Amino acid sequence: MSLAAAVAAQRGLVAGLLDRLAEIGRDPPGITRHAYGEREDAAHALVAGMARDLGLEVARDAAANLAMTWPGADRAAPRVMLGSHLDSVRHGGNFDGAAGVVAALAAIAALRGTGFAPRADVTAMAFRCEEAVWFGLGLIGSRAALGLLPREALEARRADTGETLAAHIRRSGGAPEAIAPGAPLIPPGAVRCFLEAHIEQAPSLAEAGLPLAIATGIPGNLRHAAIRIAGEDAHVGLPRRFRRDAALAGAELFTALDALWREEEAAGRAMAFTIGRFHTPVETHELTKVSGSFALSLDLRAYDPAHLAALERRLHAIVAEVAARCRVSIALGPRSAAPVGPCDAALRAQLAEAAARMGVATMPLGSPASHDAANFAAAGIPTGLLLVRNTNGSHNPREAMEVDDLMAAAATFAAWLAAQA
């Protein structure tokens, strides 16, 4: 059987897995697969069952990450890893993360159908808790696997249950006591490279009319999930010169950051910032009251470490300026960060060639989002990322990936593995 025919034969597996994952996560108006919760556990069990049906070895590590391995001729040789995650944001879509796990399994199934035998192990991964909404820190499973998870993260509490990450890991079959910074769960030198497929976050491929992109890099980010502005409650009629308006300070901070983004964009320096939470305290805000307190969150990202560091310095300067001008105090609160993830140049070229061999048109494209792949790149492991066309963005119920486009990613992975694994 030709490789193209073998990939096409996996369309039913791909569509069926996606449908069953959607059923597990169904939470109108979208999909919710809680990290280290019953729905993510069920998604992992589903995928593990499919892997066993394909004849793969199934194992879980101390972080409850799922490894599904196709044994190679040389079991001691560094392996190829492919995969992504199965958790979602609340009321998100079905494909963010899950598409990458399914594409990895489809590529392996296709190659097995041709009789191909890999020289070294090929492992499809389903990492835990990629989304930061659950514990205030993203990429948790891959951070733990690579020894990059801060010790204090185990005491972070899940947004909905209030229980610690350690408790949730244990309930999902992991062993949090075995997770420590500098103690990777994946032995050093055991991974030759890591490949991930992920839906795109902006409709760049839809705009270009292409199914797939070869990612050029993954931005790093810094996050402040609980910024607090403190001013003074006052009467709605208070003249401006007497006010210490925390809400106005929040608005000024927002517009100053937007002006920074416009300035950086005009200079050709790619970045983004997002304020997700932005509110006066719901228990005390009133129509006729100047609010003395305000809360917001901030995600700031860029593709170059030096640029990200420069942006953080600008952030602190802006905060100081707004605080002085509005006569308030601004506490940025806890800081978390994810590293910049450069995509390996050789892998980028090889993936483009593999796609071309399978008749898949691609383009180079920077990923606007963080991914588990960024942790592998930060750990010095060569990393490649495929972006799959998705018209309506992600983290919303309207994610619009087509199965045929995911099949193009699976075909590209299969062709790459046939040439390289």
Q: What is the pLDDT of residues 304-329, one digit of tens each?
A: 999 999 999 999 999 999 999 999 99
What are the tens digits of pLDDT across the range 347-356? 999 999 999 9
Neighbour-count burial for 332-364, b at 16+ CB within 10 Å, e otherwise: eeeebebbbbbbbeebbebbbebbebbebebee
C-alpha distances out from residue 365 to 153, 204, 219, 229, 278, Å: 32, 8, 12, 37, 31
Give the count of beta carbons closer than 10 Å to the beta carbon of residue 280.
19
What are the tens digits of pLDDT across the range 33-91? 999 999 999 999 999 999 999 999 999 999 999 999 999 999 999 999 999 999 999 99
Contacts of residue 115, Cβ cutoff 8 Å, sequence gap at least 6: none
What are the tens digits of pLDDT across the range 87-144? 999 999 999 999 999 999 999 999 999 999 999 999 999 999 999 999 989 999 999 9
113 alpha carbon, distance to own chain's centre: 31
Residues facing residue 213 across a β-bridge: 363, 387
pLDDT of residue 393: 86
DSSP secondary structure string for all residues of 134-169 = TTS-S-HHHHHHTT---GGGGG-B-TTT--BHHHHH
pLDDT of residue 291: 97
DSSP secondary structure string for all residues of 310-345 = HHHHHHHHHHHHHHHHHT-EEE---EEEE--EEPPH
* DSSP-derived 3-state class of residue 366: coil
247 alpha carbon, distance to own chain's centre: 31
Span between the terminal Cα atoms of the chain, in Å = 19
Amino acid, single-letter form, for residue 322: V
Q: List, as residue ranges, the binding site.
A: 85, 96, 131, 198, 395
Strand 212-215 relative to strand 217-218, pairing: unpaired
pLDDT of residue 339: 86
- Asked if residue 11 lies in contact with residue 105, where contact means CB atoms within 8 angstroms, the answer is no
Residues facing residue 227 across a β-bridge: 296
pLDDT of residue 257: 98
Is the peptide bond between 29 and the residue preceding it cis, with omega within 30 degrees of 0? yes
CA separation for the pair 252, 321 (Å, rounded): 10
Is the pLDDT confidence value at 338 over 90? no
CA separation for the pair 130, 407 (Å, rounded): 23
pLDDT of residue 368: 87
The pLDDT > 70 percentage for the chain reads 100
What are the tens digits of pLDDT across the range 157-213? 999 999 999 999 999 999 999 999 999 999 989 999 999 999 999 899 999 999 999
Lookup: tokens for 14: 């791909």
CA separation for the pair 323, 332 (Å, rounded): 12
pLDDT of residue 195: 98
- Which single residue is written with the structure tokens 């300026």? 321
Strand 362-365 relative to strand 217-218, pairing: unpaired
Q: How many residues does the chain have?
A: 421
Residue 1's pLDDT band (cuts 50, 70, 90): confident
* DSSP-derived 3-state class of residue 186: coil
CA separation for the pair 217, 58 (Å, rounded): 30
Strand 212-215 relative to strand 362-365, pairing: parallel
Helices 403-420 and 98-114: angle between axes, nearest 10 degrees: 50
Q: List, as residue ranges, the binding site for Zn(2+).
A: 85, 96, 131, 198, 395
- Asked if residue 385 lies in contact with residue 344, where contact means CB atoms within 8 angstroms, the answer is no
pLDDT of residue 20: 98
Radius of gyration of the chain (CA): 23
CA separation for the pair 229, 65 (Å, rounded): 38
Domains of the chain in sequence order: 3-219+340-420 (3.40.630.10), 220-338 (3.30.70.360)
- Asked if residue 261 lies in contact with residue 273, where contact means CB atoms within 8 angstroms, the answer is yes
